[in-house]
Amino acid sequence: MIDKPEEERANAILALPLEKVMAAVTHMGHDIPCPTCGNEHWALASHDTTANVLNVPIANAPGLAHWFFYMTCKRCGAAKFIDAAYVLQTLQQEEQRNA
Ligand SMILES: [Zn+2]
């Protein structure tokens, strides 16, 4: 969830380079065959050099939203949503391990 006090995290998510998000979702195991059609090729939605972020409002918590990166199957269009904060946390933990 992203709200005003979490602006720093929101900015960090929006600044993640596309290749880092792609590497993270692959490392996290999301690059598996599509459960609908079995195709093995997914497209991570992106614009220029950053992955697209879906901003999903929380209906029972006005002002709060959940952010997701998303991938679509290149054959059937099935979609997969990945928690953006979790991707950021995974990347930050990996950077700390490699520091
Ligand atoms: Zn598919």
Share of the chain above pLDDT 90, in %: 82
Position 22 scores a pLDDT of 95
Residue 45, SS3 per DSSP: coil
Q: What is the mean pLDDT of the chain?
A: 92
Average pLDDT, integer, range 65-92:
96
Assess whether pLDDT exceeds 80 at residue 59: yes
pTM: 0.87
Å from CA of 29 to ligand 1 middle: 16
Cα separation, 51 vs 72, whole angstroms:
13
Give residues with Cβ within 8 angstroms of 61, minimum separation 6: 1
Query: Who surrounds ion ligand 1 at CB < 5 A?
Result: 34, 36-37, 39, 73, 75-76, 78
Mean pLDDT on 74-89: 96
Q: What's the gap in Å between 71 CA and the centre of ligand 1?
A: 11
